[in-house]
Amino acid sequence: MDSDTKSGFDNEVDSKESAFYLDAAKYWEQVPPTVDGMLGGLSSISDIDLKGSQRFLNSIYQLVECPGKERALDGGAGIGRITQGFLMKNFPVVDLVEQDRHFLEEAKKSLKPTNHRGQFFNIGLQKFTPENCVYDIMWVQWVLGHLTDEDLISFLRRCKLGLKPRGLIVLKENLTSSGEVEMDNTDSSVTRPHALVVELIKKAGLRIIKEQKQQRFPSDLYEVRMFAIQPV
């Protein structure tokens, strides 16, 4: 077989991955561009979530080699809930990346009356490549479950190039307690166990410098953890 010719198995894998992304896109197209929509009907946890993120960010800036405070990225930004409720309070410039156009339009609309400065990128994280060496913090929350393992590793590798010296990527994600990957066919996403998330971070050439569990979430939800990671 020629090196540039894919086997039937490879084509089948590609087809499954395409369906994985297409099904997710179709799901989110039907979701209203509201906080309740972004959080699956759990808008009541938004304030707890944002405060937990702020505490974690504060702890990062207590590190000896802490990042700057000029520009951040909101990866999988949705309607800008995290940008407006948290990141803009810490960074004068915040860029948003979101593949669903009607979410991004809602973000632009809600941010227009504010002092928001930053760019809007209408693209999925699996295809997004940041500008080189521009971000102090890249905040990526509740979206990595929509990436395959391979695309997650590739995304993180590209993110490394977008970091300034001492810059960090922060991942905030649900984790399974079963030790297994759990698939949600409703929104076409996966929830990974802690060990796999750590493994994928390492495969991307990054290391965890700080990790913390989100507190005060309802006990029937997945555990949520924040990981501050940097290039090895």
Which residues fall in the annotated binding site for S-adenosyl-L-methionine? Answer: 76, 81, 125-126, 141
Structural tokens at position 46? 């938004």
| Cα–Cα distance for residue pair 2/149, rounded to 1 Å | 26
| Cα–Cα distance for residue pair 140/125, rounded to 1 Å | 10
Alpha carbon distance, N-terminus to C-terminus of the chain: 37
DSSP-based helix, strand, coil % in the chain, nearest 5: 40, 25, 35
Q: Report the candidate in 198, 203, 204 with the shortest Cα–Cα distance to residue 175.
A: 198
Question: Would you list which residues are annotated within the binding site?
Answer: 76, 81, 125-126, 141
Contact yes or no for 226/201 (Cβ under 8 A): no
Helix (H, G, I), strand (E, B) or coil at 214: coil
Alpha helices in the chain (DSSP H): 8-29, 35-38, 46-60, 81-85, 101-111, 149-162, 194-203
How would you classify the pairing of strands 223-231 and 163-176? antiparallel
Contact yes or no for 78/28 (Cβ under 8 A): no
The string of DSSP codes covering 184-200 is ETTTTEEEEEHHHHHHH
